[in-house]
Amino acid sequence: MKKRPVYHLRRLGAEDAEAFSNLRREVTADNPVPMGLTLKEELTRPLQSFRDQLSYPEPNAAFGAFVATELVGSAAVAWPSKFLSSRHKVNLWGVFVSPRYRRLGIGRALIEMAVNHAHANGALRVNLTVFVPNPAAVKLYEALGFEHCGVEPESIRIGNSYYDGCLMSRRRDLKAGKKSGATLT
């Protein structure tokens, strides 16, 4: 069993862009499928794009986990629209942990921080996409109360292989494992 490291969580900003890029590269090099792009594609992303992404206006927010001064994990929430008709939902994105620090509770802590931020800013529903296969991520999201709500077939293509996107969602008032009972009309 891995020794649980001492880590701290905080909000990320433009000044964290280089560390964010380095972490993304490490995670993508380990396995590109969960990231949804190849390392070659990741390497084309300019540092300014990460500065911009980490500077999105409130209430959008990205959070990081640090061991000492090293960024080892992240999770973020973004509101898909500025219009009131869509302000009740957010997209959880950028959830990844360095392979050196997985299975230590860091991902769970980051997701909870991002989801709590979303709820504190009025979000009723948190949506996400997991590129599969990624059983560890799916199991974690299920344990945190996210429900399966669809599949996007062939969501990404890495090399000559296609991978589906598993769509998951969690409503604010639901506890882990409780079903919503919502129906389509």
CATH fold of 8-171 reads Aminopeptidase (3.40.630)
Q: Which residues, 6+ apart, have CB-to-CB distance to 97 below 8 Å?
A: 27, 65, 72, 73, 106, 107, 110
Answer yes or no: pTM beyond 0.75: yes
Q: How distant, in Å, are the alpha carbons of 104, 172, 174 from that of 23? A: 17, 30, 32
Q: Domain segments of the chain: what residues?
A: 8-171
Over its length of 185 residues, how does the chain's per-residue pLDDT go in tens digits?
Answer: 567 889 999 999 999 999 999 999 999 999 999 999 999 999 999 999 999 999 999 899 999 999 999 999 999 999 998 888 888 999 999 999 999 999 999 999 999 999 999 999 999 999 999 999 999 999 999 999 999 999 999 999 999 999 999 999 999 975 544 444 433 33
CB 134 within 8 A of CB 149: no
- Rounded to a whole number of angstroms, the distance between the first and last alpha carbons of the chain is 49
